[in-house]
Amino acid sequence: MRVPKPQAVFLDRDGTLNRERADYVKSWQEYEWLPGALNALAVLSTLEVPILVVTNQSAIGRGILHPEALHAIHAQVRAEAQAAGGRLDDFLVCPHAPADGCACRKPKPGLLLEAAVRYNLDLRHCLFIGDSLTDMHAAEAAGCAWLLVRTGRQGPILDGALAALLPALAIGAGLELRSPPVVESKYAQVVGDLSAAARVIVEAAVVDQLYFETSVE
């Protein structure tokens, strides 16, 4: 069964859309787009599927960031994306600290499962783009295909880590991600940045290359 494009694209935030900060992004003034991210959103928007940000924001649970401040940041993020010709349709946020033991903090799949209900999605036909093994594990747990970018803090170790992990993974619960030669790594699951990921996805959809394949008939 071929799926020419995903039903939805999930995006991590920190390290994928914007530069990650060790002290958290606490205001719009501290939010810094990664190079090419705005253009990548414009490219992804041509797919005409939901583009959903899935993000851990433990600064709320730690008492560092107020939920209203986060909402204001995301309103600005959405406005700038739209001004650049892209869009972000929703922000699904885990506000909990790691010690809270919630079901929504990545690598758990709670936010993805919530999105599936909210948007009537078959997660086997969705794609998660993130910058960390935490994102990958959340996608795996939800049954999504995934791509990782090297723009986060784990960027230097991703290739080696995936080389060790991939033989033991059933990628995307039966979904295999195949990418055209534009991929910048010997591992099809890792690309340089969000712009490269957007090119892989959109070019594959446009030329009807087989980049999602599932055993479901």
Task: List CB contacts of 117: < 8 A, sequence separation 6 or more.
Answer: none
The CA-based diameter of the chain, rounded to the nearest angstrom, is 49
- Which secondary-structure segment (H or E) carries 148? strand 145-149
Active site residue 135: no
Active site residue 208: no
Are 201 and 209 in contact by the 8 Å Cβ rule? The answer is: no
Strands 145-149, 190-191: pairing kind: parallel
What distance in Å separates the CA atoms of residue 140 and residue 109, rounded to the nearest whole number?
8
Token digits of residue 189: 């699951």
Q: Which residue is catalytic, options 12, 131, 135, 193? A: 12
Indicate the DSSP class of residue 14.
B
Q: Which residue is catalytic, options 14, 131, 135, 193? A: 14
Are 153 and 126 in contact by the 8 Å Cβ rule? The answer is: no
Tokens 């929504």, located at residue: 104
What distance in Å separates the CA atoms of residue 103 and residue 105, rounded to the nearest whole number?
6
Are 55 and 8 in contact by the 8 Å Cβ rule? The answer is: no
**Where in the sequence numbering do the catalytic residues fall?**
12, 14
